[in-house]
Structure 1
Amino acid sequence: MTSVNSKEGNKEEYAFIYGDEAVSYEVVRKSVPQGSSHQKVKRKITIKVHPNCEVVVTSPEDANREDIHQAVMKRAKWIYDALKEFRGHLEYVQAKHYVSGEMQFYLGRRYVLKIVEDADALPTVKMTRGKLLVTLTRFNDDKTAMVRALVCNWYKVRAERIFHERLSELLPQATWVDGLPSFRVLPMTKQWGSCSAKGNLMLNPHLIKAPKECIDYVILHELCHIAEHNHSDKFWRLLTSVMPNWKEVKNRLDGMAELYLNE
């Protein structure tokens, strides 16, 4: 299952001051694995800023509080800059009203929604010159609902076609899969895709808004679940074998998730 975001473990909450702002962060402590010589393997303190502006610090369970704080302060500027960038993304995340001028996405590119009235035309949606053009026969009280329905259906049709093309293109890499897996396009709020125990795939139509490389990542992720049903080390090795740069592609997709899933 490819989720939009995930966290694990117990957490502690702290904060530090940067400039005139208090920046909060969570500490997730993890047990240190035993080495082959029965000596503890040293685990570093790592810091991650999530697209939803959560700051998560992962540390060994026995790490000193002061050591954690110093590690955070050494990267304080980096944390602040990352938060500033993600906040810039979130400023654009507002509920869609399906009116002219709103931003829409398709295969990683931005398009401006334009709605026109034409009494002689059938209701349609098409891309033209950087715009997603919606034509209605006439404007009435149901205008917003009609535009939303037309746009959502347009995305679904495009998603079914493009996902099928990408699945067929990627399948030769998934040598452990027999035949062409069936898939459904199904709206999901927290997942990009999933794979059933029988190997049937479900893909989120909102994924069509992302670059093709991100679509490929989700499809390959789910194909790997046909061989490995959980996120074991074997699963991640299999995914890395077919997409060595999956981590950066996943980060790119997660960074835009709020915008792509917004409707």
Structure 2
Amino acid sequence: MTDDGSAPECFEDYGFVYGDMHVPYRVERKAIASDKLRKITIRVTPDSRVVVSAPEGAQKTAIHEAVMKRAKWIHDSRQSFNEQQTYVQPRRYVSGEMQFYLGRRHVLKVEENPELTEQVKMTRGKLLVSLPKFQDDKPDRVRELVKDWYRIRAQQVFTTRLEHLLPQTRWVKEIPAFRILSMEKQWGSCSARGTLMLNPHLVKAPRDCIDYVILHELCHIEEHNHGERFYRLLGQVMPEWRGVKQQLDGMAELLLNE
């Protein structure tokens, strides 16, 4: 998603012990206006890094206390991400693999059917790929067909959700232009001109996760950074966004896997 545009002034690396495990964390300090209060926030990234954002003048003891209060949550989040990475393997695009659509699992089935042209369709819990004849490059062809199918579905779903969500964002007068763009680490972004870029892999996530990303980017049309006003807007249109974001972050490694 869109960066806030203000780079941290410095990094500080610390750590703490939880059980028999040493957990490193990085503190990013940011300068803020004297009349604005900024809380210490903590996030665990999908690659298990712990990042703490803090005001420039925050005391080290206060930062460490904030981290220790959430030590169990940090440990559990890192463990969850590590477990996901252990089981996530590159897809081979063969029958029996799992594919996802709107948060639900579907079994990939590849069949040879001389009576049909190449096609992909969803039927009874399966994502069925039909090929008129199997060739040596079958997995590569299946991969391309599945990617195209996701892009088409993404265009349809994102258009529908944008139309549904637009009344909640009073500062956006009409449905913004958007592009489907594959990204390795981002679900979406917003250009300075208000054009949205949405990752086709997002259509694999539950609908409330899709709504969160779209609303996040619509908020960037009004506020191009991640300042206090941006999060106030996001909280107005989706009060539960933190929980939804955490859910989506937890699925990222699995859904972005190709």
Please give the TM-score of this superposition, normalised by the length of structure 2. Answer: 0.83
Counting only pairs closer than 5 Å after superposition, residues 1-263 of structure 1 correspond to structure 2 as 1-2=1-2, 8=8, 10-29=10-29, 34=34, 47-58=42-53, 72=67, 75-263=70-258
Does the CA-based 8 Å contact 2:29-2:55 persist in structure 1?
A: yes
Shift of 1:234: 2.4
Say if 1:173 and 1:31 are closer, same or farther in 2 by CA, change over 3 A.
closer
Whole-angstrom CA distance in 2 between matches of 1:32 and 1:232: 10
Does the CA-based 8 Å contact 2:8-2:29 persist in structure 1?
A: no
Whole-angstrom CA distance in 1 between matches of 2:83 and 2:56: 34
Does the CA-based 8 Å contact 1:28-1:59 persist in structure 2?
A: yes
Shift of 1:20: 4.4
Does the CA-based 8 Å contact 2:88-2:254 persist in structure 1?
A: yes
Say if 1:31 and 1:203 are closer, same or farther in 2 by CA, change over 3 A.
closer
Deviates more, 1:216-225 or 1:50-59: 50-59
- Give deviations 1:211-234, integer Å, cap 9, x for gaps: 111111122222222222333322
Say if 1:9 and 1:51 are closer, same or farther in 2 by CA, change over 3 A.
farther
Whichever residue aligns with residue 181 of structure 1, its letter is P
- Give deviations 1:54-100, integer Å, cap 9, x for gaps: 12345565666677666655654443332222212222322222122
Whole-angstrom CA distance in 2 between matches of 1:175 and 1:63: 36
CA-based RMSD of the aligned residues comes to 2.9
Could you list the runs of 5+ residues in structure 2 that have no partner in the other structure? none
Does the CA-based 8 Å contact 1:93-1:262 persist in structure 2?
A: yes
Shift of 1:147: 0.3
Shift of 1:207: 0.9
Whichever residue aligns with residue 171 of structure 2, its letter is W
Say if 1:70 and 1:190 are closer, same or farther in 2 by CA, change over 3 A.
closer
Shift of 1:169: 1.0
Shift of 1:146: 0.6
Does the CA-based 8 Å contact 1:52-1:86 persist in structure 2?
A: yes
Whole-angstrom CA distance in 1 between matches of 2:14 and 2:2: 30
Greater CA radius of gyration, 1 or 2?
1
Say if 1:176 and 1:116 are closer, same or farther in 2 by CA, change over 3 A.
same
Whole-angstrom CA distance in 2 between matches of 1:118 and 1:70: 63
Whole-angstrom CA distance in 2 between matches of 1:21 and 1:58: 23
Whole-angstrom CA distance in 2 between matches of 1:196 and 1:150: 29
Whole-angstrom CA distance in 2 between matches of 1:45 and 1:165: 37
Whole-angstrom CA distance in 2 between matches of 1:141 and 1:180: 44
Does the CA-based 8 Å contact 1:2-1:221 persist in structure 2?
A: no
Shift of 1:106: 0.8
How many residues are aligned here?
256
Q: Percent identity among equivalent residues?
A: 60
Aligned match of 1:39: none
Say if 1:112 and 1:58 are closer, same or farther in 2 by CA, change over 3 A.
same
Whole-angstrom CA distance in 2 between matches of 1:72 and 1:47: 7
Shift of 1:235: 2.3
